[in-house]
A and B are shown apart, each in its own frame.
Chain A
Amino acid sequence: MTKPKLAVYWAASCGGCDIAILDIEEKILAVADFFDLAFWPCVADFKYKDVAALDDGAITLTLFNGAIRNDENFAIAELLRRKSVVLCAFGSCASDGGIPGMANFYERQTIFDYVYGKSPSTVNPDKVYPQPLTKVPEGEIYIPAMWDTVWTLPQVVDVDYVIPGCPPQSDQIAAVVGAVIDILKNGKPLPPKGTVLGATDKSCCDECLRQRDVKKIKKFVRPFEIIPDPDLCLMEQGILCVGPATRGGCGAKCVAAGMPCRGCYGLPANIRDQGAKMVSALASVIDSTDPEEIGRIMAAIPDPLGTFYRFTLADSLLRRAQV
């Protein structure tokens, strides 16, 4: 009997998701035992043409991490969609745009100008920018063209499930993989399409053990400015924590360690725009009625867009800055 095929791919991502899969420790052996690895550029040398040669639907499960921001990302996403029975957006880049999604605050040209021109570590007097096509004596070299806008995987192809997180926590990955193996082995029905796997429906606060009270914020501080009370809600101490507007499932590990939630598990089940929700919530708990004082309090938040839309800009109602 042939084993079911597993594919893992990285598009616009850092590679952390791949590491997270390997981080499930000895359970990876059960994965290797149960699945036949069809494609996983991070750990083994596969060629795109090998995947293209497979029959449509030949891959049982694909874990796709990374956002879609160039021709290659898009082409492979479409390819894997065709070849897979189940396609999972794995990690916040694939599901919500993630950190690469913040590129949507700018357009491609601005990013190029900075990265290949103005950045302090760059010397590029001839203004050499990447070109999709380069002529060399041997012929033409093609590198994938970068897009103006970063897209999430569900925005470009049909996705069956989403596993959020930056990266998804290894215990959650182990649980999901274990469940998949169980389903396939014992012929159980799949969860409904669109289900968010490896996470809860509630927000990060649900898992946070810190004590909470009615919130009144007089001043925002950054984590390095104070030694936070270990038992008290960080937001009540003035530290901007995005936990209330972030899906739970991570186990609230950051907040337990005294660092505010950055929002990597994306938006909870019932909302459409994480950043807007967080702004709306914060605006409600500022403890002042004086517009000038409110202005001063809000001005203490560095990089508000990057804070509220750190992981979900590409998937938000804004999607991108209009330039």
Chain B
Amino acid sequence: MVKVTIDGLEIEVEEETTILKAARQLGITIPALCYNELIEPYAVCRLCVVELQRGQRTRLVTACNYPLRESVVIRTNSERVQRLRRMNIELLMARAPGAKIIQDLAAEMGIERTRFPLEDSDEKCILCGLCVQACSDVVQAYALGFSERGSKRVIGPPYDTTPETCILCGACAYFCPTGHIKMTDTDGRILHSELTLGPNAAITLPFRQAIPNVPRVNPDYCIHMKTGGCELCVKVCQKEAINFTELAQDSFEEFEVGAVIMATGFQDFDPTPMKLYGYGVLPNVLTSDEFERMNNAASPTGGRIVMENGEEPRSIAILHCIGSRDEHYHKYCSRVCCMYELNFAHLVNVKTSAEVYQLYIDMRSFGKGYEEFYQRILDEGVNVIRGKGAEVVPAYQKRRGEGGLLVCCEDTLIGKYREIPVDMVVLCTALEARADAAEIGRKFNISTGADGWFIEAHPKLAPVSTTTEGIFLAGVCQGAKDIPDSVAQGAAAAAQVMKMFCQGELLMDGAYAEIVEDICSGCRICNGLCPYNAITYDIEKKVSAVNPAMCKACGTCVAACPSGAITGRHFTDEQIYAQIEGILA
């Protein structure tokens, strides 16, 4: 430890601590443009210059990279220091006239203009090299460097080309002290990108209500995952909670369970293929999911309903049945949309003064209290139009000097074709089975119907169980349903499991396949066939065996067994031959 005096204040710091850090511990501000505590100091801007006195001798040093090794006296704001800083800031002003931060610093020092000839008036780069260091030392992408010499010195990618090693991480722009480096979206417009539900930083909370409520590293955005460099988070986390060696290895846990409740849910229908609605092409055309996200108090808009330009919309059209009740997409009714759409209308009425248009085919307010809510919405003055939204087109409104939207529809109650001018369109997309539902179904030996939903054992009498013993269904994975129905089905599935566990024994169907050990020759043709994994092969005895508790008597193995060793109880060959003979007799 060394004891130093800074501006008359004493402080004890560890050896090798820089003057800048020691001063900051004392709360003394030293201006520094090219300093970032995450990057090795380079001491280019020279603004952090301070006066250092050792014994009788004083000299000027840069605070950012001067390590304290002995007891010294430092003055950060002496006349000599101020004079030199003013000179440096004037030089920086001439070098980068476009950088606001330099002008602000100069103004603080009482300087309004520089005496030196200006470079290009838009120039912001002060050649501090923070970006170069960030790219090479932190990110380890080595995409930026200095080129030329003297007054021609510039920073950029080699030969001014698009560097192949750049991973578009934006670290250079982040570290640039003057705002010279900017990230631009070269793919064109970004449609309400801030509304995407997922995080867009490498370390974020998944969402505000996440449990456990701790941040996570997103490998898609993490620089370390891409280049092996960075690890700044590890350096700054005082709790040492970030461990990349553990993060890099996903682990698989195996659990032995007696029952599985499938509650895999649904995915949102993507309206992009429905070109007529302009989703992804026209501005301010949102899906219900995006609109819901915008309304969330924790959303980037703070729950305000705004258009892309940040203004409040004057009118909003809410289009029902996008992808539902549609011959070309899903024939079924998604069941939840009518009610959340009415809720949307209510939210718009509460939050804005916008006019709301509901375009519906049939208003299905079937649940408890639902019809009452519909009546309330009508009382609130929502325009309810019976007719499906047919098309959304841009309407070039001169009033605001920008494009609005026109929703075309047939109002079936008045028998007229209408074009409704609105500022925003919400497409209420269908609930659809997850794309991997069939694959998951195969893993659990349950089947999916034509719509992709998992099939229950019986639509009326066994709506939560499946044809596979011990596999139960809950929620939308079995078919579109709202929250009360999902909760009810989930509770029912849990009760079914409890019933099974509490009984301690299983009621089995009398029909199942049996392998006669004396006939089975262990050819193993049946082994890979059982959809319920009920067949095992005994290597010692060289015969296969059916576990009757798992067998569902489908008969696949019975048909396949080439030596007739497998019989389906209650469906034996003899019984079937007798039936045939009976018919032919």
Enumerate chain A interface residues (CB-CB to B < 8 A).
Answer: 201-206, 212-216, 233, 235, 243-245, 248, 268-272, 277-278, 280-281, 283-285
Contacts and interface: CB of A to CB of B under 8 A. Distances in A.
Contacts of B529: 284-285
Interface string B465-490: 00000000000000000000000000
Nearest to B528: A214
A53 to B, nearest CB: 43
Contacts of A244: 521, 523, 525, 562-563
Interface of B: 516, 518-529, 542, 556, 559-565, 567, 573, 577
Given A203-B563, A215-B528, A270-B564, A284 B556 contact: yes
Contacts of A281: 525, 560-562
B521 A248 contact: yes
A209 to B, nearest CB: 11
A215 B527 contact: yes
Given A214-B524, A285-B525, A203 B518 contact: no
B516 A270 contact: yes
A277 B524 contact: no
Given A271-B563, A284-B560, 17 more contacts: A201-B518, A202-B518, A203-B523, A203-B562, A206-B521, A206-B542, A245-B563, A248-B521, A268-B564, A270-B567, A277-B563, A280-B562, A281-B562, A284-B526, A284-B529, A285-B529, A285-B560
A233 B522 CA distance: 11
A141 B565 CA distance: 52
Contact of A278 (B516, B542, B562, B567): B562
B565 A245 contact: no
Contacts of B560: 280-281, 283-285
A277 B563 CA distance: 8
Contacts of A277: 561-564
B9 to A, nearest CB: 79
12 contacts: A202-B519, A203-B563, A206-B522, A212-B522, A244-B525, A268-B519, A270-B519, A270-B573, A272-B577, A281-B525, A285-B525, A285-B560
A214 B522 CA distance: 10
Nearest to B516: A270
Q: What's the dominant secondary structure at chain B's contact region?
A: loop
A33 B448 CA distance: 73
Nearest to B564: A270
Contacts of B565: 270
Interface centre among A235, A248, A270 (most CB of B within 10 A): A270
Contacts of A233: 523-524
Nearest to A241: B523
Given A201-B518, A202-B518, A268 B563 contact: yes
A206 B520 CA distance: 8
A277 B562 CA distance: 5
A271 B564 contact: yes
Contact of A270 (B524, B525, B556, B563): B563
A280 B559 contact: yes
Nearest to A248: B521
A129 B124 CA distance: 109
Contacts of B516: 270
Interface centre among B526, B527, B559, B563 (most CB of A within 10 A): B563
Contacts of A269: 519, 564
Contact of A284 (B518, B520, B525, B573): B525
Contacts of B577: 272
Contact of B528 (A201, A235, A285): A285
Contact of B521 (A203, A214, A272, A284): A203
B575 to A, nearest CB: 13
A213 B544 CA distance: 12
Nearest to A202: B521
Given A244-B563, A268-B564, A285-B528, A201 B523 contact: no
Closest 10 CB pairs of A and B: A270-B564, A206-B521, A284-B560, A245-B562, A271-B564, A244-B562, A203-B563, A281-B562, A205-B523, A205-B521
Nearest to B517: A202
A215 B522 contact: no
A245 B565 CA distance: 10
A213 B525 CA distance: 9
Contacts of B573: 270-272
A243 B542 CA distance: 15
A271 B521 CA distance: 14
Contacts of B526: 284
Contacts of A206: 521-522, 542
Interface centre among A202, A213, A243, A278 (most CB of B within 10 A): A202
Nearest to A242: B562
Given A270-B564, A271-B564, A272-B573, A215 B519 contact: no
Interface centre among A245, A248, A278 (most CB of B within 10 A): A245
Interface centre among B516, B522, B564 (most CB of A within 10 A): B564
A81 B567 CA distance: 36
Contacts of B520: 202
A281 B524 CA distance: 10
A270 B559 CA distance: 13
A123 B96 CA distance: 109
A206 B543 CA distance: 9
B539 to A, nearest CB: 10
A31 B39 CA distance: 104
A138 B556 CA distance: 66
Nearest to B526: A284
A37 to B, nearest CB: 38
Contacts of B523: 203, 205, 212, 233, 235, 243-244
A262 to B, nearest CB: 14
Contacts of A285: 525, 528-529, 560
Given A272-B577, A280-B559, A205 B522 contact: yes
A264 B399 CA distance: 93
B124 to A, nearest CB: 61
A233 B525 CA distance: 11
B559 to A, nearest CB: 5
